[in-house]
Structure 1
Amino acid sequence: MTTMSSTQTARKASLDLYRAVWRWHFYAGLLVLPFLIALSLTGALYLFDDELDALIHSDLKRVEVQQATQPAASLVSSALREHPGTAVKYTSPATPESSAEITVNALTGERLAVYVNPYTAEVLGALDDRGTVMWTVRYLHSFKFFGQTPRKLIEIAAGWSILLVATGIYLWWPRNGRGGVVSVRGKPKSRVFWRDLHAVLGIFIGGFIVFLAITGMPWSGVWGGQVNQWANGNNFGYPTGVRVEVPMSNAYLSDQGSTSWSLEQARVPESTPPAVPAPRIGLNNAVAQLEALGLQQGYSVNLPTTAAGVYTGSIYPDDLTQQRVIHLDQYSGEPLLDMSYADYGALGRWLEFGINVHLGQEFGLINQLFLLAVCIAIIVMCVSAGVMWWKRRPSGAMGVPPLPADKRVFRGLIALLVIGGVLFPLVGASLLVMLMIDWLIVRPLQERRPARQG
């Protein structure tokens, strides 16, 4: 009798825990699945950003290879003749078939990317700066397209995605030798087919969802900014090993264009104007100096626009080891600061590696194709969750999973949620909101109308 009672108690406790985990898995899915689909679609496209931009904007980005290229200053002059204003950046052709890109603050008030044939100095056309199709896809992926406030949803979605995977693994865990663990049973008309499809896909790609969520966090508004400051040690931006005693401006490298995550708070040095007026080295000499220092083709050069400005050469290629930023004094041409990926701190190097894999860059085509398969699997998994829910839900109800008989089972789960909320503040705030909705609205409704148990 005692043994039977103990067995029944254990089964009841197990069922209560299962229901509690299922309930929060449902809530996590309710919040996250639309974001996962949107992020997977835009992410799958952005994996092939260079290839797609070269195809879509081939009239601007592709040129016929000829024998000799024109000096950088001549290309800038051609761009300014067509689009008068101030040139602020020169980007060298990445390949012999690529055009040069000149960023111009036009007199009309626009910031333009002007594409120039490096062999003939012919202006091929212009777009708004970061106006290519793939820049639009990137802004959609990061929600930057919708402003700073909606971008915070990315941080929330990432945190809930981790919760979704953790609870999903518990629900998937084999019990009593049932099927549907690594194979899909039934046919598409049956709910078990969609349940198995969802569970099997989830267990195979769950780790990659967590990886993508964590490596996407550095771009988030709250968590990413705080970790960036902590990783750099202070608001100076450069790792300790490369801090040098040179005058620093109040401008940040990220203000001048795209940079690596580790250098978003890096301040730009200042040139020291000579006591006796002297000529500036000019773009052609700056380019020659940067190339002599080993910058790969495809580098960008931010041009000085003030007497204390510097020439900043930078390159962020797929190969992390080749990332580099060099600031040159505009009068002497001397390097004021020269930093590569090897100079980043340990946390910075780890995060940059994760970001590079996230972008599909670290391992070339294999990286791109593998993450494309993961994105497709995530979309299928999300669709199967929707179909499974639709087939399960009671008529006229949301189909929130049933309440555990013993509410104390939530204590351990809520403790884990609190820990996650402390690590990720926006996620914690959203968890509190969801808890209030669950306790004050959903639970009373379910207690008045018992939920379907299947």
Structure 2
Amino acid sequence: MTGAWRQFVHRPQALRLRWWIFQIHLWAGIILALYLIAVGLSGSILVFREELTALGNPSLVRSPHPEAPLAPLEAVEAELRSTYPEHAVNTIQLPSLYTENFRAFLSGPSSLTAYSDRASGEVLGVIERDGYWITWMQQLHFYLLAGKPGLIANGIGGLFLSLLCLTGIFLWWPGVRRWGRALVIRFRSNWKRFNWDLHSVGGFWSLPLVLIWGVTGAYFAWPQEFAAAVNVFSPVISVAPPKLSVKELPQDQPAPAIDVAALVALAQEREPQHRVSGVIFPTAPTVPLRVMMARGELWDTRSTNYLYYDPYRREYLGTWERGVNKTLGDEIVFLMGPLHFGVYWGFALKALWATLGLALPGLAVTGCLMYWNRSLSGVWRRLRSRKQAR
């Protein structure tokens, strides 16, 4: 055992390196404090995005006849296009865990989430996403309200959050004789010690998930670069959707109407063991129509097959089996989303993700208080004493 390693194991506070690591941790934490508060609070709220939407819009999400047979998808689509002729219907989702009615996403003069009655297909109403408070929370959490530059800034924030985790666990280590006491908050101590315990102990217990959020936050800013890095040691093959396109129609031939019923029937015939969970409509003449076939729960897009069709010629183009990962690299990249959001494993895990999301603002506040107690309070007292002496 080398001298430096022995010192780290038994007396880490005496290491010269510790001072430099402390400075990195301190100033990175202070600079990122407001960022951590913003993404932590917004992330904890967004874990329950679906439940909050249902709570605020019960007449749209809940059905008085939840067991009624479903209206045909083509009837739902026709009603949407008739009601909102200036909008394009992008996606229609069948009723599932989070909504007892059909849900559709429309684009055009405004971005709409429309709900249609499960039995009749009649449009019940819409949520205008551009002005919706949950949309604002999403824009804050993903883009820091700044579009693409905000996404890049978020990625940089994720890298620094990962750095805070690594420097934090180094600083947390109290030595082999005292590590057990560093796992418990002493509630009867004075407020300064209590605040220190909150930061140190809270940081330790939340470290694994906070580190995951840091890494996955960086991934969302640079997904292609991340996948390329993973591909170095394990091929990334099937995690991304295939790049399929539709042959352009002759210029003198108008695009025929899309027969949704026929395309859905083709998908059901191809995969009779799975259930239709939705349809994604083409946004351009060369973009395929995709029929979503659920291998498990209808709401769980992680276990969904996307069947690609030429919507005009009704030709099958291919299938993307989302979640059917062929390599370790596929699995690593695929898990970035589920691990970050924590919404796929039941209410208990969602509650855990939301609660630990509050660790980010908690660590930011307790860290700033520690800096105040350690340095700024003394400066403040000296300034006040000088002012009183004049």
1:101 corresponds in structure 2 to: 103
Aligned length: 361
Q: Is 1:139 aligned with 2:120? A: no
Q: How large is the Cα RMSD of the aligned pairs?
A: 3.7
Q: Is 1:226 aligned with 2:225? A: yes
1:322 corresponds in structure 2 to: 303
Question: Which amino acid letter does the alignment assign opposite residue 100 of structure 1?
Answer: F
Taking structure 2 as the reference length, the TM-score comes to: 0.78
Taking structure 1 as the reference length, the TM-score comes to: 0.68
Match of 2:290 among 312, 321, 324: 312
- Decide whether aligned partners of structure 1 residues 53 and 47 sit closer, same or farther in structure 2, where only a CA change above 3 A counts: same
Q: CA deviation at 1:353?
A: 1.9
Aligned equivalents of 2:267 and 2:161: distance in 1?
43
Match of 1:287 among 246, 258, 264: 264
- Decide whether aligned partners of structure 1 residues 298 and 48 sit closer, same or farther in structure 2, where only a CA change above 3 A counts: farther
> Deviations along 1:348-386, whole A, 9 cap, x unmatched?
332222321221134222321221231233333322212
Q: Is 1:387 aligned with 2:373? A: no
> Deviations along 1:282-335, whole A, 9 cap, x unmatched?
0121223334435545423214653x4532224786656513221112244332
Aligned equivalents of 2:156 and 2:237: distance in 1?
32
Q: CA deviation at 1:189?
A: 4.1
Aligned equivalents of 1:161 and 1:74: distance in 2?
48
Preserved contact between residue 160 and residue 214 of structure 2 (Cα < 8 Å): no
Specify every segment of 5 or more residues in structure 2 that has no aligned partner in the other structure, as ranges: 1-6, 381-390
> After the TM superposition, which residues 361-400 of structure 1 pair with which residues of structure 2 at under 5 Å, given as runs?
361-395=343-377, 397=379
Q: CA deviation at 1:226?
A: 2.5
Q: CA deviation at 1:278?
A: 10
Aligned equivalents of 2:333 and 2:276: distance in 1?
25
> Deviations along 1:88-136, whole A, 9 cap, x unmatched?
3241323396222344445xx3343332213223221223357654333
Preserved contact between residue 68 and residue 119 of structure 1 (Cα < 8 Å): yes
Question: Which amino acid letter does the alignment assign opposite residue 150 of structure 2?
Answer: P
Q: Secondary structure at the match of 1:181?
A: helix
- Decide whether aligned partners of structure 1 residues 325 and 116 sit closer, same or farther in structure 2, where only a CA change above 3 A counts: same
Match of 1:333 among 298, 314, 332: 314
- Decide whether aligned partners of structure 1 residues 381 and 13 sit closer, same or farther in structure 2, where only a CA change above 3 A counts: closer
Question: Which amino acid letter does the alignment assign opposite residue 224 of structure 1?
Answer: P
Preserved contact between residue 280 and residue 332 of structure 1 (Cα < 8 Å): no
Identical residues among aligned pairs (%)? 21
- Decide whether aligned partners of structure 1 residues 281 and 169 sit closer, same or farther in structure 2, where only a CA change above 3 A counts: closer
Q: CA deviation at 1:217?
A: 2.1
Match of 2:280 among 301, 304, 319: 301
2:202 corresponds in structure 1 to: 201
Preserved contact between residue 195 and residue 370 of structure 2 (Cα < 8 Å): yes
Specify every segment of 5 or more residues in structure 1 that has no aligned partner in the other structure, as ranges: 1-6, 234-238, 242-260, 399-454
Aligned equivalents of 2:248 and 2:220: distance in 1?
34
> Deviations along 1:254-286, whole A, 9 cap, x unmatched?
xxxxxxx834xx534204759999966601212
Aligned equivalents of 2:240 and 2:133: distance in 1?
26
1:61 corresponds in structure 2 to: 61
Q: Secondary structure at the match of 1:145?
A: coil
- Decide whether aligned partners of structure 1 residues 91 and 26 sit closer, same or farther in structure 2, where only a CA change above 3 A counts: same
Q: CA deviation at 1:20?
A: 1.4
Aligned equivalents of 1:320 and 1:105: distance in 2?
21
> After the TM superposition, which residues 130-209 of structure 1 pair with which residues of structure 2 at under 5 Å, given as runs?
132-143=132-143, 145-175=145-175, 177=177, 180-185=181-186, 187=188, 189-209=190-210
Preserved contact between residue 318 and residue 356 of structure 1 (Cα < 8 Å): no
Preserved contact between residue 279 and residue 291 of structure 2 (Cα < 8 Å): yes
Q: CA deviation at 1:178?
A: 5.1
- Decide whether aligned partners of structure 1 residues 272 and 174 sit closer, same or farther in structure 2, where only a CA change above 3 A counts: same
Aligned equivalents of 2:155 and 2:32: distance in 1?
11
